[in-house]
Amino acid sequence: MNFTNLFEMQQQLDERIIATHPELKETDNLPWKILALQVELGECANEWRGFKKWSKNQSARNKDIECHACKGLGEFHNQIFHGAEHVDDTTEICLYCEGTGVQEKNPLLTEYVDCLHFILSIGLELSEEWIIEADYEVYRYVQGARNVENTIEQFLVVNKELTYFSVDYNVIHYVELVSQFLGLGEMLGFTWKQVEQAYLSKNTVNHQRQEQGY
């Protein structure tokens, strides 16, 4: 898998954000992007729930959540009466979920690709061409030499690599960060095809948010 397309899409989004917020143009944007990634990693762990040993519910929220308004139907069925007489049946699309029946799609995967947005954005700040053109196997190979026992440890390893990078904006630390992050995705049960598709969907949403002044 080649990262080039994802980097290009992320660059288009970053450029749009800067156009909307021109004060970022002459700013060192790495610190807030690193902090944003830390926050997103926390939100990803929160959806995974496996660290919540105090809770009886440690199951990952990794399935689509049905719309609470239409109960997953995507529409409402109404009966019209004139007095006691049944006149007509009507159907209307649920506006809350726009007829999909889904309130939220795979929250865990959504949070993971939110992290990926900032992973890519940080890489673009480094302006290293070979980083942008590196394929999936190159990044994954680095992680393969450092397998850990469980997902909790993998979250900690990703955060550790992010801390190393935050102290020294080093290309080597960035490659380690990406590779460990990909390893985390595999431990969470995601295929790369799933991640790509989810990234494309969320990237579209992020562009829409810029249009709407989010």
User: Following DSSP, what letter does each residue of 113-142 receive, concatenated?
Assistant: HHHHHHHHHHHHHHT-HHHHH-BHHHHHHH
Among 60-64, 86-90, 95-99, 144-148, the range scoring the smallest mean pLDDT is 95-99
111's enclosing H/E stretch is: helix 107-126
Q: Which two tokens stand for residue 19?
A: 């156009």
Look at residue 96 and tell me whether its pLDDT is greater than 50: no
Q: Which two tokens stand for residue 68?
A: 């609470």
CA atoms lying within 13 Å on the CB side of residue 139? 29
129-152 mean pLDDT: 80
For residues 206 and 17, give the distance between their C-alpha atoms in angstroms, rounded to a whole number.
Answer: 10
For residues 189 and 172, give the distance between their C-alpha atoms in angstroms, rounded to a whole number.
Answer: 26
Tell me, what's the pLDDT at 84?
65
How much of the chain, in percent, has pLDDT values that exceed 90? 53
Confidence of residue 97 (pLDDT cuts 50, 70, 90): very low
Look at residue 75 and tell me whether its pLDDT is greater than 80: no
- In the chain, DSSP finds a helix count (H) and a strand count (E) of 8, 4
Look at residue 39 and tell me whether its pLDDT is greater than 80: yes
153-199 per-position pLDDT tens digit: 999 999 999 999 999 998 999 999 999 999 999 999 999 999 999 99
76's enclosing H/E stretch is: strand 75-82
Look at residue 210 and tell me whether its pLDDT is greater than 70: yes
Prediction pTM value:
0.80
Nearest to 116 by CA among 195, 189, 172, 173: 195
